[in-house]
Amino acid sequence: MSPIGLDHKILTIGSCFADQFGQWLTNNKFTVLANPFGTTYNPVSIHNLLLNALHNHVDSTLFTERHGLWFHHHWHSQFAASTKAELLAELQRVQKQVRAFLQEVDVVIITYGTAWVYEHQSAGQLVNNCHKVAAAQFRKRLLTVAEIETSFITLIQTLKSSRPNLRIICTVSPVRHLKDTFELNQVSKSVLRLACHQFQQEKLAEYFPAYEIMMDDLRDYRFYERDMIHPSMEAREYINEKFSNRYFTSDTLQLLQTLSEIQKALAHKPFQLASALHQNFLKQTLHKLESIQHRLPVAAEIESVRTQLIHHA
């Protein structure tokens, strides 16, 4: 398995776990576009968002207005505007950004959250977000593995037409969707896991076992937040470490360890900025930053430290 390098461009997309993954990679100075469409849980909507961005397409039948704001059923509720025209312009702006990034992307990390979907009955389409429209307008159902695979293959063929060496890594989110009940959440996760297994068997994508690590390796509620649904910081760090060990070289791991130590040091707020002790600490930190600046974009950190030395030396 070839490693992921710091020079690779990475897109993360999918559930809230994709946000966390993207932020973690960004903090480690990778070039990342993290969940640009907002949180998206079901595979078909994830695939369609990318395809629509590539084709510069926004479905005109799926706009909806509520309490003076316009939304789109294919998009997260963070995308809202006072007029349909304003919303369309914003959606097209995001699509343009994603389309440009996909022309250069090296790795796409997809995190699936649920196989349960809602179909807009009058439009006859599967939606990403109901936007609190009356439930009677939608039909809830479970995606099949075949549906997910068909949708995925269409996406892969389109993406690889311009990026033939593109690497796809699929994961299943460890976050439970308990509104579907424990039983039906497990049914959903099973469908997602089978789909990912199929992709892996057909060499369409790789699979990273975030779900299994959480469920089987960290099988204790102390690794959850207070809501007993989302992984705790310790659990997220553990899963990130597993990802690092699988996909990064030992050289990259060492470099990121150095970066982590520097970031923790810079987060420390001293009481006496002008003290000899703190000034010496700043000089040491600056030396560490300068030693990695040819590998990582740390110009902002270097400038911040130099400013403190100038002002307080």
Q: What is the DSSP string of 143-196?
A: PPHHHHHHHHHHHHHHHHHH-TT-EEEEEE-----GGGHHHHHHHHHHHHHHHH
What is 9-248's CATH topology?
Rossmann fold (3.40.50)
Is pLDDT above 50 for 184? yes
pLDDT at residue 177 in the model = 85
DSSP helix/strand/coil, 141: strand
40/177: higher pLDDT? 40
Measured at the alpha carbon of residue 163, what is the angle toward residues 35 and 24, in degrees to the nearest 5? 30
Could you tell me if 16 and 28 are in contact, meaning their C-beta atoms sit under 8 angstroms apart? no
Three-state secondary structure call for residue 53: helix
Higher pLDDT, residue 269 or 299 = 299
Q: Which of 209, 182, 214, 188 is nearest to 197 (CA)?
A: 209
What is the pLDDT at residue 124? Answer: 85
Tell me whether strands 206-207 and 167-172 are parallel, antiparallel or unpaired.
parallel
Q: Once rounded to an integer, what is the mean pLDDT over residues 18-44?
A: 95
* Segment 58-75 mean pLDDT: 95
Domain boundary assignment for the chain? 9-248, 250-313
Kind of pairing between the strands at 9-14 and 31-34: parallel
Task: Quickly count: other Cβ atoms within 10 Å of residue 3's Cβ.
Answer: 13
Q: How confident is the model at residue 274 (pLDDT cuts 50, 70, 90)?
A: confident
Please state, in angstroms and rounded to a whole number, the distance separating the CA atoms of residues 280 and 291: 17
For residue 1, which of 256, 246, 243 has the smallest C-alpha distance? Answer: 246
Report pTM: 0.91
Indicate the pLDDT class of residue 312, thresholds 50, 70 and 90: very low
